[in-house]
Structure 1
Amino acid sequence: MTRPIRLAISGASGRMGLALLSLVRDDERFELARAVVSSSSARLGKPVYADVSPLRFGDWSGEGEADVVVDFSGPEGLAAALDRCEAGGAALVTGTTGLSPALEERLAKAAERIAVLRAANFSLGVAVLTRLLREAAAALPGWDLDIVEVHHNRKEDAPSGTALALGHAAAEGRGARLDDLAVYAREGRPGARKAGTIGFAVVRGGDIVGEHQALLMGQGERIELGHRATDRAIFARGALEAAAWIAGRAPGAWSIEDVIATKG
């Protein structure tokens, strides 16, 4: 696009939203059109950048059309962002999780009319890891495979969404469904490991941003594929790369792997 991409951030007062606002401020690819927050947010009505712009945190009413909406809000916020995207033809990039089956179905149908990119993790490094694991799992179908993930002690879900996405990629590489292969706990499962299963191990502690490791184990040898995040800003940077990539794209359901496939 010859002009800057008009960007709206949904969930702008959250941790990811604030990281996005910090980065987009100096990114010449974008023009911030909206910073959307919930009606209960303490930031509602306050300036986004008091020193350089009159833009204020607000809702979806009024002016401020966008080419791309980046959403890290919640199911309710995502539904509102999707309403806006479908009404105006904007592309949607979202990392919101915990969606109901009805909202999942709605997103799938929306991708027939607008460009939609969803990801459990917007790290470009994790996107590469996912692709490598899919290929490795396909090339070594008889090897045992476990996924180990480590996060800070405040993380509530286990396994992480990224670990599950890696598991889905590995199962896909073997032409199967993760639901049929996953083993989330070994307690109460005596005896030898069942061939073809994908195991998960979870560690929680300290302030660890996020670590994921895939172990492929054969007879007399092992492959370890891993990724360590040391800075939460990587997720915001990845989301902005996705926003720049998807601007002007045709309708469809896209992924962060599509973004890295066109790099270089």
Structure 2
Amino acid sequence: MGQGLLKSTLEAGCVVVGGTCRDPEAAALSLADLTREGSITLCTDMTQLAEISDVVIDFTHVSSVADHARALKGAGVAWILGTTGLSESEQRAVDDAAQTIAVVQAANFSAGVTLMLRLAREMGMALSAERFDAEIVEMHHRQKVDAPSGTALAIGEAVAQGRDVKLSDVRAPVREGQCGARKTGEIGFAALRGGQIVGEHELLFTSATEQITLGHRAFDRRVFADGAVQAAEWVRGKIAGLYSMEDVLGLS
């Protein structure tokens, strides 16, 4: 993702002033090959990067979110956040930062997934939990460490929002062994891993008489990077607030 973001940013005509990394010396060698530029500052923390940036695109680890929120809020720098798996306290840190700076937060920055989330919400509203069981199936490359994916959880959140419930109240536990019959109103998840699949998500609404399927497949990780750069270009000059890709695409 880091390499994809760098390429997408440069191709969009934006100026890459810096980035964070654990090993600046090793990263410098890679950057030289990717950018053929010598003006990129490699930082070991977000505070340093924020001082030289107008907008920061953040696809790092969830453990860094709270620190990044404080650093970017303090510097008054807009934040594009693609990190997923946030706890309630980490999300509160993001919400707090959005009181001071413009934040675009998304589990997935592709236009297709953004539309899928919108449709998932509308379908959840139209298809009652009493008649239609909602299940989400996702598949990713074998190296992915979290499950379900952040995008799958976002789809579940959209369905739950459409049904005016909290996902935490209706999310089905992992099914294995003698787990009992499916409960009415549950939203279930299945996570598959294998090969080098970029990302596949499928939402199924199934009743006793019919099934409706909504799906998305990503063929290249650049789709996420391109969307994040689009969000970065859009967010400049925006007032403080928490925005989504629906805002970026003019759908909200």
TM-score by length of 1: 0.83
Q: Which moved more, 1:125-134 or 1:241-250?
A: 241-250
Paired AA for residue 139 in structure 1: A
Q: Any idea what SS the aligned residue of 1:32 has? A: coil
Report the equivalent of 2:152. Answer: 163
Report the equivalent of 1:199. Answer: 188
Q: Is the alpha carbon distance of 1:154 and 1:75 closer, same or farther for their aligned partners in structure 2, counting shifts above 3 Å?
A: closer
Structure 2 unpaired stretches of 5+? none
Q: Any idea what SS the aligned residue of 2:202 has? A: strand
Is 1:129 matched up with 2:112?
A: no
Q: Is the alpha carbon distance of 1:216 and 1:210 closer, same or farther for their aligned partners in structure 2, counting shifts above 3 Å?
A: same
State the distance in 1 between where 2:171 and 2:56 align: 34
Q: Is the alpha carbon distance of 1:74 and 1:156 closer, same or farther for their aligned partners in structure 2, counting shifts above 3 Å?
A: closer
Q: Is the alpha carbon distance of 1:239 and 1:211 closer, same or farther for their aligned partners in structure 2, counting shifts above 3 Å?
A: same
Report the equivalent of 1:54. Answer: 38
Query: Does the 8 Å CA contact 1:37/1:57 hold for their aligned counterparts?
Result: no
State the distance in 2 between where 1:100 and 1:189 align: 27
State the distance in 1 between where 2:174 and 2:50 align: 51
Paired AA for residue 40 in structure 2: R
Structure 1 unpaired stretches of 5+? 1-15
Report the equivalent of 2:3. Answer: 18
State the distance in 1 between where 2:39 and 2:193 align: 39
Deviation at 1:44, TM superposition (A): 4.9
Q: Any idea what SS the aligned residue of 2:237 has? A: coil
Deviation at 1:97, TM superposition (A): 3.1
Report the equivalent of 1:9. Answer: none
Query: Does the 8 Å CA contact 2:51/2:75 hold for their aligned counterparts?
Result: no
State the distance in 2 between where 1:174 and 1:27 align: 39
Q: Any idea what SS the aligned residue of 1:149 has? A: strand
Q: Is the alpha carbon distance of 1:247 and 1:204 closer, same or farther for their aligned partners in structure 2, counting shifts above 3 Å?
A: same
Paired AA for residue 180 in structure 2: P
Is 1:97 matched up with 2:81?
A: no
Q: Is the alpha carbon distance of 1:73 and 1:137 closer, same or farther for their aligned partners in structure 2, counting shifts above 3 Å?
A: same
Q: Which moved more, 1:40-49 or 1:98-107?
A: 40-49
Is 1:261 matched up with 2:246?
A: no
Report the equivalent of 1:6. Answer: none
Cα RMSD of the aligned pairs, angstroms, is: 2.4
Q: Which moved more, 1:95-104 or 1:167-176?
A: 95-104
Q: Any idea what SS the aligned residue of 1:35 has? A: strand
TM-score by length of 2: 0.87
Q: Which moved more, 1:251-260 or 1:46-55?
A: 46-55
Paired AA for residue 190 in structure 1: G
Question: How many matched pairs?
Answer: 245
Q: Which moved more, 1:159-168 or 1:180-189?
A: 180-189
Q: Is the alpha carbon distance of 1:171 and 1:98 closer, same or farther for their aligned partners in structure 2, counting shifts above 3 Å?
A: closer
Query: Does the 8 Å CA contact 2:16/2:40 hold for their aligned counterparts?
Result: no
Q: Is the alpha carbon distance of 1:244 and 1:62 closer, same or farther for their aligned partners in structure 2, counting shifts above 3 Å?
A: closer
Alignment equivalent of 1:87, drawn from 57, 74, 92? 74
Paired AA for residue 48 in structure 1: L
State the distance in 2 between where 1:134 and 1:81 align: 30
Report the equivalent of 1:222. Answer: 211
Deviation at 1:49, TM superposition (A): 4.4
Q: Is the alpha carbon distance of 1:61 and 1:197 closer, same or farther for their aligned partners in structure 2, counting shifts above 3 Å?
A: closer
Deviation at 1:57, TM superposition (A): 4.2
State the distance in 2 between where 1:206 and 1:183 align: 27
Spell out the pairing of 1:240-259 with structure 2 (5 A cutoff). Answer: 240-259=229-248
State the distance in 2 between where 1:98 and 1:136 align: 24
